[in-house]
Amino acid sequence: MDRSIDVDSVDLLGRVRAGDDAAWAELTGQYTNLLWSLARGMRLSEQDAADAVQTTWLRLVERIDTIRHPDRVGGWLATTMRRECLAAIARRERVQPADGWDDLPAPADPLEDGLIREERDAALWRALRALRPRCQALLRVLMADPAPSYADVALALDMPVGSIGPTRQRCLAALRQLMRLGPEPV
Amino acid sequence: MSPDEDDDQLLERLRQVAAEADAVPENVLAAARAAFTMRDTDLELARLVADSAEAGFEPVRSGAVAARLLAFDGGGVQVDLDVEVAGGRTVLIGHVSGADACVLERGDGSRQLVPLDELGRFLVGGVRPGPLRLRCRGPAGRTVATSWVTV
């Protein structure tokens, strides 16, 4: 693992604890994309993803002075976000049957391709949707920008660090396979 | 080119498509930055000590109402909170002890007074979805807030 990242995160959290707004902006700039990617990979709607990301940051503010391992703030965020996503899914499951499925607007598909200009890219994005959910979630998290550390990915998806590399390889191979098969039959 | 480099390249392409098709909305980035304004080092935390949604309970249901029961404790304040959702509307029903005044605080920092009756009970209707917490005046005038809950 890259030790310089850990040192940076200890320093960054120290500055955040001292009340440094710029340090907070840097921290949110570094991780918000990962948190969003995790929520979307777990197929939360835009609204639920937005609430889960906001709650995760509010929880960090709430706990900022008592976090035990400032060197692992990324892992703390990934774990907290995963929990928020599971809670959002549970909330939907609790509420929806009571409301009746018919009354609800279908949540926007996180793999909606309407915004993509190039057909080639849209086809790639649609192929993702045909992968099994585990692959979709892993690849969506690995797409986060900046690229997340495997330690953070492991906590985000609750999988062993050692299985990320091999699973990534298998999921990308499956994606290539789907692309080779061409446009999905309708 | 090695298979690993192929994979890195495909993932990079996916990252670019994600930036186009599913970018982080600007309001999400803004809310993340704004969360820091909610920092208050004098605040004492009433932690979540029970949550029906996490305890493996069967959902509490009567008719078309789905309810989630939460309990918080800390800083000399106890809060029992019942989040009820019916027909897409959220109602908070609760009980506070150890505090004589509370406000409902939202993730964006907005607040509304929560009227407590003589027994410390309250009811707030028309609650919009998103993170919230109860912020109360506890023993000896200390400020105590529950941990955040997303409804």
Amino acid making up residue B45: L
Q: Choosing among B28, B37, B90, which should be mutated to test the A contact, i.e. which has the most A CBs within 10 A?
A: B28
pLDDT at A183 over 70: no
Is B38 touching A (CB cutoff 8 A)? Answer: yes
- Choosing among 2.60.40.10, 3.40.50.970, 2.40.160.10, 3.40.50.300, the CATH entry for B41-150 is 2.60.40.10
Count of domains observed in chain A: 1
Boundaries of every domain in chain B:
3-36, 41-150
Average pLDDT, chain A: 87
* Interface contact B131-A55, CB threshold 8 A: yes
Phi, psi of A88 (to 5 degrees): -65, -40
Looking at residue B58, its pLDDT comes to: 56
Does the structure show a pLDDT above 50 at A186? no
Query: For the residues A38-45, what does the mean pLDDT come to?
Result: 95
Q: Using CA coordinates, name the residue in chain B closest to A16.
A: B36
Beta pairing class for B44-51 and B143-146 = parallel
Q: Is residue A43 part of a domain?
A: yes
Interfacial A residues in 63-122 facing B (CB < 8 Å): 64-65, 84, 87-88, 90-91, 94-95, 98-99, 103, 110-113, 115-117, 121
Q: Is the dihedral of CA A31, A46, B130, A159 positive or negative?
A: negative
Q: Is the pLDDT of residue A134 over 90?
A: yes
pLDDT at site B82: 96
Structural domain boundaries, residue A21 = 3-180
For residue B113, what pLDDT is reported?
97
The pLDDT of residue B64: 63
Question: Kind and range of the H or E element at A178?
Answer: helix A161-180
What is the model's pLDDT at position A101?
Answer: 42
Is the interface score ipTM higher than 0.85? yes
A20 in a domain, yes or no? yes
Angle among Cα A49, A124, A186 to the nearest 5 degrees reads 100
Mean pLDDT per 10-residue section of chain B, whose length is 151 residues: 85 96 96 96 94 67 75 97 89 96 96 96 95 95 96 92
Question: Between A125 and A182, where is the model more confident?
Answer: A125
Residue A186 belongs to some domain of the structure: no
Q: Which pLDDT score, from 0 to 100, does residue A71 have? A: 87
Residue A14 lies in a domain: yes
Please state the φ and ψ torsions of residue B53, each to the nearest 5 degrees.
-70, -25
Q: Which residue has the tokens 């803004």?
A: B30
Q: How far apart are CA B39 and CA A76, in angstroms?
A: 18
Q: Please judge whether B39 and A40 are an interchain contact, meaning their C-beta atoms are less than 8 angstroms apart.
A: no
SS3 B149: strand
pLDDT tens digits, A70-109: 889 999 999 999 999 999 998 887 765 444 444 444 455 6
For residue B87, what pLDDT is reported?
A: 81
Q: What SS3 state is found at B11?
A: helix
List C-alpha distances in Å: A178 to A114, A123, A128, A171. Answer: 20, 10, 9, 11
Query: Chain A within 8 Å of B128 (Cβ-Cβ)?
Result: no
The two structure tokens encoding residue A4: 């310089």
Question: Which of A50, A55, A98 minimises the CB distance to B61?
Answer: A98
pLDDT computed for residue A7 by the predictor? 57
* A125 located within any domain: yes
Query: Higher confidence at residue A80 or residue A5?
Result: A80
Q: Has residue A185 been placed in a domain?
A: no
Best mutation target among B4, B24, B146 (most A Cβ atoms within 10 Å) is B24
Q: Which of A1-5, A56-60, B38-42 has the lowest mean pLDDT?
A: A1-5
